[in-house]
Structure formats: structure tokens, C-alpha cells
Amino acid sequence: MDTLISIKPLLAVLVSLLAIPFIAYSRSPNVREGWTFLAAIVKFGIVAAMLPAVLNGMEISCSLVEVLPGLSIAFRVDAFGMLFALVASFLWIITSVYSIGYMRGLDEHAQTRYFCFFAISLSAAVGVAFSANLLTMYLFYEMLSLATYPLVTHHQDQEARTSGRKYLLYTVGASIGLVLPAMLMTYHLTGSLDFSPQGILAGTASRGTVALLLFMFVFGFAKAAIMPFHSWLPAAMVAPTPVSALLHAVAVVKVGVFSIVRVITAIFGTDLLQTFDLSTPLLLVASTTILVGSFIALSQDNLKRMLAFSTIAQLSYIVLGAALLSPKGVTGGMVHIAMHAFGKITLFFCAGAIFVATGKKNISEMTGIGRRMPVTMTAFFIGALSIIGMPPCGGFLSKWYLVLGALDADKIAILVVLLFSSLLNAGYFMPVVYRAFFCPPEEALFEARVQEAPLCCVVPLVITAVISILLLFYPQPFMNLAVMAAAKFTGI
Amino acid sequence: MKTFALITVLLLGGLLFYGTPDFPDWGDPASPASLHVSPYYIEHAVEDTAVPNIVTAVLADYRGYDTMFETAVIFSAGIACLFLLRVYRRKSARTRLYRHNLTGVTLRIAKGGKLPEGSAEFERIDSVWVPYDMIIKVTSRLIVPFVQLFALYVIAHGHHSPGGGFQGGVIFGAAIILYALSNDLRRAFRRLSEKAALLASAAGVLIYVGTGLLCLLLGGNFLDYSMLAEMLHTDAIMARSHGILIVEIGVGLAVMAVMVSLYYNLSSAGRHDEGL
Amino acid sequence: MESLLSNFLAKYNYWVYIGLVMIGMYAMIAKRNLVKKIIGMNIVQTAVILFYVSIGAKKGKTIPIIAHGHEETGHHAAQAIDYISPLPHVLMLTAIVVSVATLGVALALAIKIYRQYGTLEEDEIALRINEP
Amino acid sequence: MSAHFPGLVIIIPLVAAFLILIGALLDKRLAFPLTALALLGSLVTAIGLLARVMQVGVVEYHLAGWAPPVGIAYRVDHLNGLVLVAVAAVAFINLLGTRPLVVEAFGDRLGPFYTLYILLVAGLLGIVVTGDAFNLYVLLEIAALTGYALVGMGEGRAPLASLNYIFMGTVGASFYLLGVGYLYLVTGTLNMADLAVRLPALYPSKVVFSAFVICLAGLCLKMGFFPLHAWLPNAYSYAPDPVSSLVAPLMTKVMVYVMVRIMLFVFTPAFAFDLTAISEPMVWMAIVAIVAGSFLALSTRRLKRMLTYIVVAEVGYMVGGFWLGNRLGISGAILHIINDAVMTLCVFLAAAALIARTGSDAIDDMQGLFKKMPVTMAVFVIAGLSIIGVPPTCGFFSKWYLISGAIAAGQYGFMAALLLSSLINLVLFFRIFEIAYFEPFEDHHAEHPTGHGRVLSAVQEAPLELLVPLVVTAALLFALGIYAGDIVSLIIDKAIPLGIV
């Protein structure tokens, strides 16, 4: 595949950074939100402009500066990077609309700081998507952790302080403690950190070191919330909902998973893992995370914490898909990034809308809310279906490919895990929906005067709900991006 | 604490002792140290710089750069003491003692009151009462000029006999300190004020560095006195000898001034009103 | 045994210098009074000076000043062998000035400490530091 | 004119020192401009010298016209050309930045202060550029002496801390002098290049080994390397703010440079790394230094004291990196000399600005500073991130080389120590950011007027004169980070002798 040298990837990353001075020093809130919205649209426009080139096999690359001998801060847009960037930048547009409604609804303080750091985190997320080597990815990964810290601790109260401390300790601590040494060892072994389709570690180290490096990377990217390093995600739910919606459902956690899949496929290479058969331990880790995450989600009463644990479980689907090493499995994993993003963001939007409208946080207090907020709850239902993987929604597609992948790799145990976890997903979503719609009138806790959330909140969640349905029928951009990426990585 | 000190000291002694077996014997003419660079100095000093005293030749010419920084060290010590101790603000109201010259009566004025300046009969004395002692004043008045004369001799005669800038400067400083000790500090200030001492110390080192810069400007390397040849209307070798003399004078001036200002600051703990 | 003794006697200057260093260091570490520590420091510096000067010494040789008289006609070349080496003396002139300078600054600081705490004993200073 | 650059780099500040004193006697306000002019001249000369070294290779300069080993000679190669520029730049930026603090603290003795300031810088520049072992001792003493005086003028326990600094510093310098004396005893010369030629024949002799150990002990004492660091925390934290932001970034780094210079170019790697089995224990001592420095920094609640403990840990980085013995480790150590000088300058300047405004050194009194002093805190964040080792800043890249060197040499203990200290730095700095970010600002002057120097005015942003150098230093952190690769490949790689793989 030939590469096209162009400045677009750099522009895509920089556009939200360049918008910050305007956002920071705009006179009135409307102008500030206007700038954010404009920045989001322009960013999505640039990313989409690169889509046709990527679709017919081209890779767009742009190198900034040669930082170390043989290593430079460089961008390289391939199918996998494009898929994630597309999802992230598109959802930023919707989230910026949603956060206007949400922040105005609760008249939060320091909104300028909120929008500025939001823009920085997005540019970091897209930076990770487009990075050409492990160094650039590490740079943007760290930038993202530090840019999201002020967002997570937005309320500046004691609880935000402790969860911010935990958030930093896990993400930056694990990345310095595990990813940095692993990256340096790889550089020491192979002399380069560039992502290449078949991986660079082939034949340079013994099975022991490769296994050690693999697990240092997997657990180092703590943003993917894999089991032992997951407890920062529920704690980060203390952030305002648009932050949890975009960052802790789409941008931040997906960056973690994206980095892991990128490292597995482009640094280690699928056939290296095959020969050393390191995929089984990886699958074990992913499936334990899925099952344990889903079990904990069952017992949660706070809606956002339940969604957080469900995110932990869903993320490990993606890692599972990659670890299956079969083309269908990898495709399933990659498509799940998009499907889960749209599904989960709808659920978080609904949680936010409920909070804005009624101030309720816990599921037990939400009996009969369906009558009062029908649109939000139907969107919640659609989102839930997509996460569970039921047909009318896109989630079904990724589950379908994951199951096929498991069959190809003839790992029946994984098949059981997939199906059982879908059951568990249904287990913790359906009671919420049932209690919202089918409870008898006298139990309904809401009087007549409670009505829908402000329009700015409802419209985005409707859009994402509709998209997650459409994705089943027209998964075009994401599906063939995923197929191309999977084909490239598994060498078929 | 003492045992810890003993242990470290013994350890250190052992470390120093470890190297001694391979030392050359003391005073052995064939020791490596006296076979490599020293012979060159001994054999070529007179031809290169026409200065019989090789130590002065090496001190001011071959390794003149070291000595320049040496003067800078003594200068910075003077400035350091000034910086650390000098007290400019008149804080405490102190009781002052005045002696009436004609009758020898001592006047004690409390709470910082002051007699009008320049009143002839009264003369301020140190608060720590010093007995009026004829012998010391007279002998020191006799000795001081000769000491200063000898100091100048030592500075100037560094070429031919042991001596030079540092030694001469210290002797000159000692003369002034003797004067300050025998009389009182205020009289010494009238002879050599603090500002004059600072200026002299800066000027002394500036002479040294200035000659070096002059050689630089005249085209040679820094401190290469042979460049001064046509300025001093002599050949290159004599120029080096004269260069050494100029530099020695600079060093002497600087060291004298610094010794005096060190004494001023240390003896009066920075207040510059009453010394030892 | 005999060679050890002669070896020992041949280098007696260095034992003196090692002894002085040890005394100086002991004073600096063990003594509690600040001025005694300053004296110990000075002893260490003097010991190093003694070591350097004893490097340049040559038994039975004269000081490095080339004998000259006004009537001296032909300058017979000075043999390096019959003069002691001048370099250590030059270096030690510098080291002496350094020790004087350090002594000056140390005493200035001792005066400042005395003015501040009224004592030069380290234990009393430690007490006076703790109570505000 | 450019032939005289090696000499001029030091002569300009030295001459200026005396002119400043004379100028200050006439009019106090003359002192600062003269110093600034002199340091600027010296910086420009240093940059010119580095450029010339990069074209020509090694630049020789014979003082007083005598060739070595008879006279004193300067041998400026890539190593000291680079460190020279760093020292001159840090001193110049610090001078501009701390002017308002100096005028407020030493208004009545500006002349002596700036004379000592420029003599200290001249001494440091001399140490870096000289090629003669004894000349290095003399310059060591100038830098040390002026350092003692400047540190001694602080508040509270500064004179006592400075006196202890004198004791340890003089013992260190005397040990270095002793080491050089032992070498002179068996070789007869003092010129470093000449020593390197004459020493190989004497490697088996005990004298050379004891010279090696004594010299190293002296330098470790001057560097504040862990077991011998007792003087550093007191001296740097009780020193007045403008002084500690000059002394902390430069003194220890220049001493590390001296160790690198002597071990690589006098004792030559063949002796230092292979014959003496000292590299392994030195790396282990460096690990102890890093871990101890970091934990000591955790234990204190005072800002400047915490920063000095970080300096102790950073010295452990450099010494450990150097004694790894491979090319990666040594270039990491040399790069860290430059990076750490700039990082320490940035963090100490920011600390000086914060302390000048809040009037107190305690971390707990720094509430709500992100709102009150946004720019200073932003720079403090950048400096903190650089010390932690977050990519675009230079701290990351020196850690990159140090850890790669550790992996290449198989010293995984050293790598673990580096990572542990980065994590502890993370906790240290975010502990401060939390207080400045979360706790609302409350004016605590009303309750207890702290004695730490009069507060310039009500707590608001630092004076512009301090902000501009702060922002410039922060930009320098990023620039050094981006060009770390070029610095190493173009300059540092050529500085390390070829013998090291």
C-alpha cells in the first residue's frame, strides 16, 4: 500500500488545540460554545476528508520532527486509526451540543476551563489514533491522561479530589511504571518503534521476554481498565456526565484499548503471538474482566457506576477480539469499538438527561420514569439493546463477528464466555427498562410535573440512538475499515 | 559521635596510607615529579623571562593564569566578608564614650547622643575601655613606616629573592592593621577608608587582568607578556620580566587592600565603629 | 624487616602529612565548638600543603633561585639536578591563599552565628534553633 | 577574534566583577546592568565557542603563550562546549528573573551581591572550560567561596547551614587537591591531556588507584552524592531565594561534569570502568541515592526543601547513568546535566515567585494559587511534568537514554529506581497541584505574618520581570525535549571517547 504524504493528520490533531485561545477568551458563553462546535465540525471534516483515501488502501503519513535517532514524532493514518478517529471526532460534535444543554441545565462553574480541557483531550485522542510509532502514541497517551484530570475533578470537592488522585495514579502511574520500560526494552531489542503490519518483535527475543513485554503493555495501558487496573473508572464517574459520556465511554477508555490492540497487532504481530501461543493467557485475562465486570454491574444501584462496570466488561470484548488472532475475531473487536461507542454514549446521555431533569442518580429511584420521560427511556432501551447485542441495533454485528472469530479460532470456551456475558448484559439492563415502563401507576415515584430534559440534551441522545440502529443496516464506513485493518494485521 | 569520628578518620587514614608504598622516597632527586616539568622551568626560566627567582617566574608567567584566579579568590573573600557582615543601618542606640584630651576625663553619653563632630577637645574612645598606653602608641608609630617600606621592598624584589606580590601585600596589610590595633579603628579609617580599601582591591586585580587583556588586545594569547615588548620598548624577554613586575604590584595592592578590609569587617563585626 | 624500616624512614614526611589529615578530620567531625571545627579544617588544608611541598623536595639541593651576580659573564646553563623543583611551591602559594580566604569567610560566618545565637557550641545552637 | 573565545568566556565576567564593584561604589543602580551585560557577553562567546567546536573539533588555547604541560592550556571539546553554554544560559536567565527579589532582599548591598554572583558564574565557567587539573581546583574554590557567602546571607539557619557547607565543601576540595597531588607525584604533570598520556604506564601502581578513590570521594562530596549529601538540603533550602535558584541548578551539575571529565579524559575509560571494579558499586550507590532522595522529598512539607531532595535524587540519576559504562548511559548522564540544570532552574524560579508572593515556604499554604497566579503555576506544572518525565519535555528524553543505558547494561535495579523515583515525583508534584487546585484561597497573612521575607504585595501574579524568564525557561524545556535527539547525535556522541561502545 503506498503512502501519501500530507499535512492533514497533523491538522486534524491541531485544530482543537488551535481553537483553545478562542474558546478561552471568548466574550460570552454562546460565542465560546460556538467556537467549540465549530472546532468539532472542522475536526470531523478533516478526518472525513481523509476517509476516501484510506478506504481505497492509501495510508496518509506526516512526520513532524526527528526527536531521537531513528525515531520521530510522526503520524500515519491507516484503517484502524481512521476508524477510531472517525468515531471520536463525530461523537465530539454531539457531545459538545449535549454539554451545552447539560452545563447550562446545572449551571456548572468554570465552564471555560471545561471546554478548553475537553478540546485538548480530543486532540490527544485523535493524536493517539493517528500516531505512527509507539513514542508518539505514548506522548499523546500521557497528554490525554493529564488533560482529562481537570475534567474528572471538575467539581473540585473532596470526593473529586480522591477519585482524581486514584485516576492519575492508575493511568499515569501504570504508564510510567509499565509502558515506559516495556517501550524502551522493545526499542533496545528491535532498534525501532514504528508500527508495521507484521510486528517488529518477531525473532528478537525469547518467549519469556515477549510474554513479559506483552503483559507489561497490556496492564500498562491502564486506561483500557483491564481487571486489576480497573477501579479508577467507577471512581471517575464523579465527573460531570458529558465527560463520562465522551471520555469514559468513548475517548479515554477506547484510547487504552486502541493502544493495546495496536501494540498486539503492530508491535508483536499476530503470528509471533501464535508461535509463542500467548493468546490463551490474554484471552483468559480478557474473559475474566468481562465476566467479573458484568457480575459487579449486576449489583450496582447507581446508574452511572453500573454503566462504568458495563464499559469495563465491553472494553475487554475488543481485547478479546484482538486476542483471538483470527481475522473475523479481530474485525469483530474493531467494529465493536464503533458499536459500543454509540451504544454506551446513548446510555450515558440518558443518565445525564435523567439527572438534569429529575436529579435522580440511583436505579431504585427510577421506577415509572418511562411515563414521564418517554423519549429518553426509549433511547436508553435502544442503547441497552445495542450493548447486549440484540438484532435491531449495531451491537449485534460486532457480537456476530466475535462469535465467528471464536469459532474460527476454535476456542469454544470463549464462545461460552461471549454468550454468557450477553446474558449478563441483559441481566443488568433489562430491569432498569422494565421498571421504567411496565411498573403499575401507583408505584410511579414521579408526579405529573416532571417532564423531559432540555432539548439540547434530548436531541443528541436521540441521534446516537438512531445511529446505533442504522449501524446494523449501513455499517459501511466502520465495517470495511475494520475488515481492511483486520486483513492487514492477520496477513490474509 | 566521637566513635563515628574515630572510625571515619581511621578509614580515611587507611585510604591515604594504602598508596604510600609506591611513593618515591622523600627528597629523592630522581622522583618522577622532578623529572618531567620542573627541569624545564629550572633550565629555561632565566632565558625565557630573565627572572632569576624561578618560583616568581612560574608563578606570574608560566602559570600566571592560576595566580590571577588566586587574586580573584582573595578578592572574593574580601567581598564575601563585606557582604556577610557589613551592617549599614544604625539600629541600636549605643552608649558612647568620649575622653577630654586636656584633663583625661571620660564622658559617657547614653542613648546614642553624639557630641558635635570635630570638637577638638573631645575624642571618641572604644566602649571597651582601653588604657591610654604611651609605649604601644610610640613604638608602633616608629615601626609602621619601616614595615611598609620593607613590604614595598619585598614586592619589588620578588624577581631576585624569595618574595613577590602575595608576601609583600600581606606585610603591607599587617602594617596598617598594626596601626589600627595600636590606635583605634576610627583612626585607621581616617588613614584608609573602607571605600578606598575596596577600590584598591578591585584596582589591584584589575591591574593583573588588565595586563592580561592588554596582551590579548595586542594579538597574543591572554597574559602573554611578550606582546608588551614594543609598548615597553624592550625585547620580548625583558617584556616578560616587566610584565611579571607589573602583575606583582597589582597582586600586592590587591592583597594589602583585602587584608585590611577583612580586618575591618571581622574586628568590628561589620559595624565599622569599634575594632579590637 | 630491615627493608620495611628503611622504607618507613625514607618516607617519614608522608606519615606526618597523613597524621595531620587524620587530626584535622577528627577535629572537624568530633569537636562540637564551631571555631575548633574551623581550626580542624585549617589543619587539613595545611596537611595537603605539606604533602605538596614534600613532593618537590630534593635532599641537599638549593632553593630554585639561579645564583647570579652582576659580574657574572657567561651564563652556564642551570642544571635541573641541583635545584629543588619550583612547581609545588607555586601551587602551594595558591593553596595557602585559598585556605586564608576560606578561613576568613568561615570566621565571618562564625561571627554571624554568634550574633544570632549567642553561642558557638553546636549543642546549644541546636537547642536554640528548636524553640522559636 | 574568535580564536580567543576560550579565554574570553571567563575573562569577560571576571573583569566585569571588579568593574561592578567600582560601579556600585559610585551608584548602586549600576550593578545590575553591568552584570547583565557581562553575562550576556559571556553567553554569546560560549555559543560562538560551541559553534566553532562543532565545526573544527577540539579548540586549544594556550594561556600566556606557553604550550602544555609547561603552561596552562584549555582543551575545549564538545563536552565542555555544551555544558558551558548551559551554565552561561542558566546564570543569565536567573539573573534577569531574580532582579526584583534581589533588590528587595539585598537593597543595601547590591554591589557586593552582584560581584559575588558574577564571580560564582565565572568560577563555574572556568571549571567547565579548563584543561588543567590544578587550575580546576582554584576555580572550584572561587565558585565554592562565593557560594558560601551567598548562601550564608539567608534567613534563620542560613549561616549555620553555610558553615556546614564550608566544612564539607573544603574537605571535598582538599580531597580533590590530594587526588591531583597523588597523580602529580607519580607523573610530574598537571595538564589533563598530558596526564592521560602518562598514566597508562602506571595503572598497576597503588598510588594511581588511591588517587582515583580520593578524587572520586572529593567530587562525590562536592556533588552531594547520597551518602555525602548532608550539607545540600540545608544549604540550598535556607539560602535566599535568588541564590538557591542560581546555586541549585549549577553547582552539583558542574561537579558531575568534572567527574565525567576526569573519569573519561584523565583516568580514561580503560582504567575507570575496566581496571577498577568500581562501576558496579557506584551504580548501586546511585540507586540508593535516587530512592533515598525521593523518599526524603516525600517526607518534607516545605517546598524548597522538597526541591533540594529532588536535586539529590537527580545527582543519583547522573552518577548512576555515567557509571553504567555504556555509550547510552553516559550520553544520558551528559544530556541530563543540561536538562536537569534547566529543569531545576525553572522549578526553583517558580518556587521563588510563589514564596515571594505567598510569603511562606510551606506546601500547605499554597491554596488556590491556580486562580491567583495562573502563569506561575502553569510554568510550575510544566517544570513538574518535566521532572516526572512526561514526553514532550526534556526530562523524558534524558530518562529515555538513562533507562535504555540501564537495559543495555543489564542494570535493571537502576531502571527500577528511575521508574520508582518518577512515580514518587508524580505524587510529590500532584500533591502540590491538588492543594493549589482544590483548596480555595484564604489570605493567611491575617493570622500569622510569616517571617519569610516581606511579601511584595497582596497575593497576585508574580512581577512581569520574573514571569518572562519563567515562560522562556518553560519554552526551553520543550525545545530541549524536541531537540534532545539532535543534541545527543551532533554533540554528545562526539564528546564521548570512541573506546566506549
**pLDDT digits 0-9 by tens, D153-211:** 888 889 999 999 999 999 999 999 999 999 998 888 889 999 999 888 888 888 899 99
Segment A341-354 mean pLDDT: 88
pLDDT in tens, D456-499: 445 677 788 889 999 999 999 999 998 888 888 888 888 888 87
What's the pLDDT at D452? 45
Contact list in C for residue D145 (CB cut-off 8 A) is 101-102, 105
Segment B28-34 mean pLDDT: 80
> What's the domain range around A354?
278-492
Please indicate, yes or no, if residue D355 is contained in any of the structural domains: yes
Strand order of the sheet with strand A59-68? A3-5, A59-68, A71-77
Contact list in B for residue C94 (CB cut-off 8 A) is 66-67, 70
Per-residue pLDDT band at D293 (split at 50, 70, 90):
very high
Give the range with max mean pLDDT: A105-119, A233-247, C114-128, D281-295: D281-295
CB burial class (10 A; 0-12, 13-18, 19+) of residue A108?
middle
Contact list in C for residue B73 (CB cut-off 8 A) is 97-98, 101
What's the pLDDT at D496? 86
Q: Does residue D12 surpass a pLDDT of 70?
A: yes
Per-residue pLDDT band at C68 (split at 50, 70, 90):
low
What's the pLDDT at D412? 92
What's the pLDDT at A269? 82
Total length of chain A: 492
What's the pLDDT at A328? 86
Mind telling me how many Å the CA of D21 is from chain B's nearest CA?
7
Per-residue pLDDT band at C56 (split at 50, 70, 90):
confident
Confirm or reject contact between B138 and chain D (CB < 8 A): no
User: Looking at A376-380, C68-72, C85-89, D252-256, which range is the least confident one?
Assistant: C68-72
Q: Which three cell numbers stand for residue D8?
A: 574570553
Amino acid (one-letter) located at A4: L
Residue by residue, DSSP assigns C45-81 as HHHHHHHHHHHH--TT-B-SB----TT--S-PPPPGG
- Nearest chain D residue to A70 by CA distance is D485
Percent of chain D topping pLDDT 90: 61
Per-residue pLDDT band at B142 (split at 50, 70, 90):
very high
Please indicate, yes or no, if residue D404 is contained in any of the structural domains: yes
Q: Do chains B and C meet with 3 or more Cβ pairs nearer than 8 Å?
A: yes
Higher-confidence position of A194 and D287 = D287
Which one, of D136, D163, D150, lies nearest residue D248 by Cα? Answer: D150
Task: Read off the pTM.
Answer: 0.91
Cβ neighbours of residue D394 under 8 Å, at least 6 residues apart? Answer: D338, D339, D342, D343, D386, D477, D478, D480, D481, D484
Residues 63-92, chain B: which have Cβ within 8 Å of D?
63-66, 68-70, 72-73, 75-77, 79-84, 86, 88-89
What's the pLDDT at D458? 57
What's the pLDDT at C76? 61
What's the pLDDT at A449? 63
Please indicate, yes or no, if residue A131 is contained in any of the structural domains: no
> What's the domain range around D366?
277-501
Q: Does residue C19 surpass a pLDDT of 70?
A: yes
Q: Does residue B13 surpass a pLDDT of 70?
A: yes
Give the range with max mean pLDDT: A119-133, B19-33, C55-69: A119-133
Q: Tell me the pLDDT of chain B averaged across its residues.
A: 86
Number of domains chain A is built from: 1
pLDDT in tens, B154-194: 998 888 888 888 999 999 999 999 998 888 888 888 888 88
What's the pLDDT at D222? 93
Mind telling me how many Å the CA of A144 is from chain D's nearest CA?
11
- Nearest chain D residue to B205 by CA distance is D18
Given an 8 Å threshold on Cβ–Cβ distance, is A177 in contact with D488? no
Segment D47-73 mean pLDDT: 88
Q: Which CATH architecture has domain C2-59+82-130?
A: Orthogonal Bundle (1.10)
pLDDT in tens, A138-156: 999 999 999 999 888 888 8
Given an 8 Å threshold on Cβ–Cβ distance, is C101 in contact with B77? yes
Per-residue pLDDT band at D353 (split at 50, 70, 90):
very high
What's the pLDDT at B93? 61
- The answer to whether D306 touches D428, Cβ cutoff 8 Å, is yes
What's the pLDDT at A34? 86
Q: Does residue A6 surpass a pLDDT of 90?
A: no
What's the pLDDT at D451? 45
Segment C62-68 mean pLDDT: 78
User: Looking at A210-224, C36-50, D334-348, which range is the least confident one?
Assistant: A210-224
Segment D232-260 mean pLDDT: 93
What's the pLDDT at A13? 86
Region class of A152: left (phi > 0), else alpha (psi between -120 and 50), else beta: alpha
Mind telling me how many Å the CA of B171 is from chain D's nearest CA?
23
Per-residue pLDDT band at B90 (split at 50, 70, 90):
low
What's the pLDDT at D320? 94
User: Looking at B76-90, C41-55, D416-430, which range is the least confident one?
Assistant: B76-90
User: Looking at A110-119, A160-169, A239-248, D91-100, which range is the least confident one?
Assistant: A239-248
What's the pLDDT at D248? 93
Segment B36-43 mean pLDDT: 85
Please indicate, yes or no, if residue D451 is contained in any of the structural domains: yes
3-state SS, residue B88: coil
Percent of chain A topping pLDDT 70: 97
Segment B102-124 mean pLDDT: 73
3-state SS, residue D224: coil
Mind telling me how many Å the CA of C67 is from chain B's nearest CA?
7
Q: Where are the alpha helices (DSSP H) in chain B?
A: 2-19, 38-49, 54-57, 64-85, 134-156, 165-182, 185-191, 194-217, 236-267
What's the pLDDT at D180? 93
Given an 8 Å threshold on Cβ–Cβ distance, is C58 in contact with B17? no
- Chain B and chain C share a number of CB contacts under 8 A equal to 169
Contact list in B for residue D198 (CB cut-off 8 A) is 36
Per-residue pLDDT band at A492 (split at 50, 70, 90):
low
What's the pLDDT at C57? 83
What's the pLDDT at A96? 86
- The answer to whether D256 touches D223, Cβ cutoff 8 Å, is yes
Percent of chain A topping pLDDT 90: 11
User: Looking at A30-44, A413-427, B92-106, D44-58, which range is the least confident one?
Assistant: B92-106
What's the pLDDT at D448? 44
3-state SS, residue A63: strand
Please indicate, yes or no, if residue D238 is contained in any of the structural domains: no
Contact list in C for residue D148 (CB cut-off 8 A) is 105-106, 109
Percent of chain B topping pLDDT 90: 33
What's the pLDDT at A444? 60
Given an 8 Å threshold on Cβ–Cβ distance, is C55 in contact with B2? no
- Nearest chain C residue to D166 by CA distance is C106
Contact list in B for residue D134 (CB cut-off 8 A) is 63, 66
What's the pLDDT at C67? 73
Given an 8 Å threshold on Cβ–Cβ distance, is B9 in contact with C22? yes
Contact list in C for residue D152 (CB cut-off 8 A) is 105, 108-109, 112
- Long-range contacts of the stretch D20-23 (C-beta < 8 A, 24+): D20/D111, D20/D114, D20/D115, D20/D118, D21/B79, D21/B198, D21/B202, D21/D111, D21/D112, D21/D115, D22/B199, D22/B202, D22/B203, D23/D111
Number of domains chain D is built from: 1
3-state SS, residue D33: helix
Cβ neighbours of residue A485 under 8 Å, at least 6 residues apart? Answer: A78, A79, A80, A83, A330, A331, A334
What's the pLDDT at D447? 41
Higher-confidence position of C102 and A67 = C102
Contact list in B for residue D18 (CB cut-off 8 A) is 75, 202-203, 205-206, 209
Mind telling me how many Å the CA of D81 is from chain A's nearest CA?
21
Per-residue pLDDT band at A448 (split at 50, 70, 90):
low
- Chain C and chain D share a number of CB contacts under 8 A equal to 67
CB burial class (10 A; 0-12, 13-18, 19+) of residue A149?
buried
Mind telling me how many Å the CA of C132 is from chain B's nearest CA?
23
User: Looking at A110-114, B209-213, D148-152, which range is the least confident one?
Assistant: A110-114
Contact list in A for residue D397 (CB cut-off 8 A) is 67-68
What's the pLDDT at C73? 43
Given an 8 Å threshold on Cβ–Cβ distance, is D174 in contact with C25? no
Q: Do chains C and A meet with 3 or more Cβ pairs nearer than 8 Å?
A: no
- The answer to whether D102 touches D353, Cβ cutoff 8 Å, is no
Among partner residues C51, C98, C110, which is closest to D141 by beta-carbon distance?
A: C98
Please indicate, yes or no, if residue A385 is contained in any of the structural domains: yes
What's the pLDDT at D351? 93
Peptide bond just before A454 cis, omega within 30 deg: no
Segment A218-240 mean pLDDT: 87
Q: Do chains B and A meet with 3 or more Cβ pairs nearer than 8 Å?
A: no
Residue by residue, DSSP assigns A413-455 as HHHHHHHHHHHHHHHHHHHHHHHHHSS-GGG----TT--PPPH
Give the range with max mean pLDDT: B81-90, D81-90, D442-451: D81-90
What's the pLDDT at B252? 94
